[in-house]
Amino acid sequence: MNTTLQQRIIDELTKGLTVPSCEEIEQRYPPRELPEGAEVTRLCPSPTGFVHIGTIFTGLLCQRVARQSGGVYMLRIEDTDKKREVEGARELIASQLGAFGIVPDEGLQPDGSSKGDYGPYVQSERQALYLTYAIELLKNGRAYPCFATAEELEAAVNDQKAKKQRPGYYGEWALWRDRSDEDIETALEAGKSFILRFKSSGSHDKRVTISDRIKGKVELPQNDLDVPLIKSDGSLLPTYHLAHVVDDYLMRATIIMRGEEWLPSTPLHADISLALGIKPFKYAHTPVISILDKETQNKRKLSKRKDPEADVAFWLQKAHPIKAVKAYLLGLANSNFDDWFREDPNKDLDDFEFSLDKLKTSRSPLLDMRKLEDYAKDVIAAMPQEHFNKQILAWTEVHDKPLFDAMMADPEYTKDVLAIERGGEKPRKDVAKWSDAPEQFGYFYDEIFSERFAPAIDELLSDVPADVIEVSCKNFLESYNPSHNKDKWLEAMKTAAVTSGYTFDRKALKANPEQFHGHLADFARIIRVKVTGKANTPDLYAIMQIMGEQRVVGRLK
Ligand code: GLU
């Protein structure tokens, strides 16, 4: 293309925006001074709605790879698709990553500020940089203007369909790839609009081998697609393909960890890189998290529409300890994590030696919420008491003010309540998330008990006649003495049970069921339900000791 025509294209393209030269840019983004082997990773979500749990997964791995190698983990917001952008989504990404402690070394911070010398870390603020490299491609013959109208492109697609050809702008369907300067001038004179397309160098029937840290060696067709470089929506923003190459080059990323849906585009990205004289990147395409479909029981990709688990907000709302969720995600990535973690859930997750290579074996890791719950129970059971108390109170303060107020009204009592069956050989494992607090501790507090637990008692004891319940409670209270130790308490319980028509002799019960109301356990259930409003609780003796005589008597009367 002659230089005057080239300049006209550039002027049209930049619409008067001043763009820096490649040299100026290179100076502004010098190579990083990092130790040998340090990896610079980047997490690049688009602010198009809620944050996907896959973003947390990839973010966690990006952070690990960077930290373990003494490198840098960046967060870049890819907001070039202005039509799909959702207000507030950018802030949500930063704050939810923050909630998981996956705070980037560079880029948007949870408080909304930005950090780092290789910014801006928001793509819409890097417009001039992309234009510089787009122009560079034009100048070295690796980009050209395409004046094809929407109708012409549609006709090409229909033609491809009719001929059963692969869709796309390539080969004979690349309408403007080899046009003369005259054709371009005529189109410009006619005031036609154009987009800038990349001039591919590959051939679809030839293969290139991509070496991916997770997928291994992958053979893919060479790139012959002449993709748009700058969007046609008038925004002057780049397409993902150009943006990825320019940003990751300038930000000096050393390994591109991104979702595996991008794997097929890798030859295109290598083609663009080489056209700009940039060494193609190292890649690590991360597997997508899958789930068992509730209806078909088949494994499928987590769906934004169908699965609440896809949304990070769902996880935060459930309020499992963050450590447990991170541990679970690390376990999905590296199968040896499980053994390492189960040795001692108090270990610092940062001490686990994460390996990208081991991710190979976890093809589309399967989300199993039950396993996550187990992790969470272990984490909570192993947590130091003080930390546990703090987390419970922090959750209730925000989500259950009445319970929080009741807890704070008697801090000493609350301390005992929260410590019940924790520590020791076999700590309780019925708390999997902070949002379990009302269910697990609410009944200890009288107002909460009468409002939320007492109403369930009739239903829970619907199989026991009212007079039997009454007599059982009366008899229990007659033998109950708060100063009894556990053995004596149990003796008294047995006596009361027998007096009330229950037996601890299973054989006798089996032989003559009509003679008894039931087994000792059935008697204990009545007392438990009356005292707590629940069918399952920690040790009833321990509960009564903490509640104290007045409360126990009050509830059994
Ligand atoms: N913005 C792209 C996406 O959300 C990121 C791909 C990448 O990490 O390069 O899919």
| CATH classification at residue 137 | 3.90.800.10
Where a domain ends, among 402, 417, 444?
444
Same domain? 302 vs 342 = yes
Same domain? 227 vs 349 = no
| The pLDDT value given to residue 269 | 98
CA of 266 to the centre of ligand 1 (A): 13
CA of 74 to the centre of ligand 1 (A): 13
User: Which residues lie with the beta carbon below 6 Å from any ligand 1 atom?
Assistant: 44-46, 78, 244, 258-259, 262
| Pocket residue to mutate for ligand 1, from 75, 248, 262, most atoms within 8 A of Cβ | 262
Where a domain ends, among 286, 306, 323?
286
Q: Which domain holds residue 328?
A: 292-381
What CATH number does the domain containing 530 carry?
A: 1.10.10.350
233 within some domain: yes
Same domain? 162 vs 280 = yes
- Which atom belonging to ligand 1 lies closest to the Cα atom of 257? 8
CA of 77 to the centre of ligand 1 (A): 9
CA of 80 to the centre of ligand 1 (A): 11
450 within some domain: no
| The pLDDT value given to residue 416 | 97
CA–CA dist 363, 127 (Å, integer): 37
Same domain? 275 vs 405 = no
394 within some domain: yes
Q: CA 218, 43, 31, 239 torsion: positive or negative?
A: positive
Same domain? 9 vs 45 = no
Tokens, residue 367: 């989300």
| Pocket residue to mutate for ligand 1, from 51, 237, 248, 258, most atoms within 8 A of Cβ | 258
Same domain? 263 vs 412 = no
| Pocket residue to mutate for ligand 1, from 81, 240, 288, most atoms within 8 A of Cβ | 240
- pTM more than 0.85: yes
Judge whether 78 and 240 are in contact, CB under 8 Å: yes
- Which atom belonging to ligand 1 lies closest to the Cα atom of 244? 9
390 within some domain: yes
511 within some domain: yes
Same domain? 252 vs 272 = yes
| The pLDDT value given to residue 526 | 97
| The pLDDT value given to residue 482 | 94
Residue in 173, 261, 268, 259 with CA at minimum distance from that of residue 220 = 268
| Pocket residue to mutate for ligand 1, from 78, 79, 245, 260, most atoms within 8 A of Cβ | 78
452 within some domain: no
- Residues with Cβ within 8 Å of residue 171, at least 6 apart in sequence: 224
| The pLDDT value given to residue 235 | 86
Unique residue bearing structure tokens 């925000």? 398
CA of 45 to the centre of ligand 1 (A): 5
| The pLDDT value given to residue 380 | 96
- Which atom belonging to ligand 1 lies closest to the Cα atom of 55? 4
| The pLDDT value given to residue 324 | 96
Flag residues of the chain having pLDDT under 50.
Answer: none
Same domain? 243 vs 168 = yes
CA–CA dist 89, 95 (Å, integer): 10
CA–CA dist 466, 464 (Å, integer): 6
Q: Atom 10, ligand 1: which residue's CA is nearest?
A: 45
Same domain? 197 vs 327 = no
498 within some domain: yes
- Residues with Cβ within 8 Å of residue 170, at least 6 apart in sequence: 200, 204, 224, 225, 226
Same domain? 470 vs 435 = no
Same domain? 424 vs 540 = no
510 within some domain: yes
Pairing of strands 195-198, 299-301: unpaired
- Which atom belonging to ligand 1 lies closest to the Cα atom of 48? 4
Where a domain ends, among 251, 266, 286?
286
CA of 246 to the centre of ligand 1 (A): 14
Same domain? 498 vs 374 = no
Judge whether 138 and 270 are in contact, CB under 8 Å: no
- Which atom belonging to ligand 1 lies closest to the Cα atom of 78? 1
What CATH number does the domain containing 88 carry?
A: 3.40.50.620
Q: Number of structural domains, the chain?
A: 5
| The pLDDT value given to residue 361 | 62
